[in-house]
């Protein structure tokens, strides 16, 4: 299985000059934390990182080489949207794998268990994603911020990554989206619009995406707890 890690996102909500993937979390870039599980997993044969064009060299030097991620085969330049970046990653592969997994570069708390669950789920339907039930009531509003609807909460799940697919299926979905001019909010949405089934497997409320300054504080707390648990088992 090959992993594509889109890491070209801009840090508009973070408010800093450096993109969120390269912010330090316990003295290590967020992206380095993200890559650790993939680099150590027996499920993963190769990793492709898709970075902003101006950050490709920085990513290679300050993350891939510095932390010796030997499964990273290439760091390529992404596109304007995340969807463009993942598509570039798919097209860059030197060989066509049976399975592909896509995971956000700024989502550093993935576990081996979640990666395995997504992979096992994809074997059943060809496509699987990790998600968690929403905790809050969700409102649908109009342009004037007037509530139009309150969906049933038991049917709502917050989608995360990794999202795992049969490679041929995901490539077809991306090609169709491109030809139709369709822009989805995640990889699975491109598969769904083809009428294909996408299985949901349990994620974790710790599997957060680092997007705002508050997320960094939460992330430090998660990492501290995990490190303490690891030390206690020694």
Q: Domains of the chain (ranges plus CATH)?
A: 2-232 (3.90.550.10)
Q: In tens digits, what is the pLDDT along the chain, a chain of 234 residues? A: 999 999 987 655 555 567 889 999 988 999 999 999 999 999 999 999 999 999 999 999 999 999 999 999 999 999 999 999 999 999 999 889 999 999 999 999 999 999 999 999 999 999 999 999 999 999 999 999 999 999 999 999 999 999 999 999 999 999 999 999 999 999 999 999 999 999 999 999 999 999 988 999 999 999 999 888 878 776
pLDDT of residue 72: 98
| DSSP bridge pairs for 46 | 2
CB-based contacts of 100: which residues, under 8 Å, 6+ apart?
1, 2, 3, 4, 90, 164, 165, 166, 167, 170
pLDDT of residue 59: 96
Nearest to 198, CA basis, from 163, 234, 223: 163
pLDDT of residue 109: 97
| Buried-exposed string 71-94: b where 16+ CB fall within 10 A, e elsewhere | bbebbbebbeebbbbbbbbbeebe
Q: List the structure tokens of 18.
A: 């450096």
Nearest to 99, CA basis, from 31, 38, 171, 161: 171
pLDDT of residue 45: 97
Q: List the structure tokens of 170.
A: 């995901």
Nearest to 133, CA basis, from 194, 66, 203: 203
CB atoms closer than 10 angstroms to residue 189: 17
Task: Answer for the pair 106, 34: CB distance below 8 angstroms, yes or no.
Answer: yes
Q: In angstroms, how far is CA 169 from the centroid of its own chain?
A: 18
Q: List the structure tokens of 228.
A: 């303490």
pLDDT of residue 10: 67
Query: pTM (2 decimals)?
Result: 0.93
Rounded to a whole number of angstroms, the CA Rg of the chain reads 18
pLDDT of residue 16: 56
pLDDT of residue 227: 85
pLDDT of residue 112: 95
pLDDT of residue 231: 80
113 secondary structure, DSSP code? H
The dihedral built from the CA positions of residue 171, 173, 178 and 184, taken in this order, carries a sign that is: negative
Residue 76 phi, psi (nearest 5) = -120, 165
């Amino acid at each position: 299985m090959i992993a594509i890690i889109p890491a070209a996102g801009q840090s508009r909500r973070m408010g800093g000059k450096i993109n969120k993937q390269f912010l330090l979390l316990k003295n290590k870039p967020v992206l380095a934390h993200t890559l650790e599980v993939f680099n150590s997993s027996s499920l993963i044969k190769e990793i492709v990182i898709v970075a902003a064009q101006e950050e490709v060299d920085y990513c290679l030097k300050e993350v891939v080489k510095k932390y010796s991620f030997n499964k990273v085969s290439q760091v390529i330049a992404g596109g304007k949207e995340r969807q463009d970046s993942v598509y570039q990653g798919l097209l860059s592969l030197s060989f066509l794998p049976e399975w592909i997994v896509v995971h956000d570069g700024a989502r550093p708390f993935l576990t081996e268990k979640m990666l395995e669950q997504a992979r096992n789920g994809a074997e059943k339907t060809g496509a699987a994603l990790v998600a968690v039930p929403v905790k809050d009531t969700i409102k649908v509003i109009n342009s004037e911020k007037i509530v139009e609807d309150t969906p049933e909460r038991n049917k709502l799940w917050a989608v995360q990554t990794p999202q795992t697919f049969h490679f041929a299926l995901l490539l077809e979905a991306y090609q169709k989206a491109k030809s139709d001019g369709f822009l989805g909010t995640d990889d699975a949405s491109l598969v769904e619009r083809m009428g294909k089934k996408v299985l949901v497997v349990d994620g974790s409320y710790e599997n957060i995406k680092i997007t705002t300054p508050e997320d960094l504080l939460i992330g430090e707390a998660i990492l501290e707890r995990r490190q303490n648990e690891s030390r206690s088992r020694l």
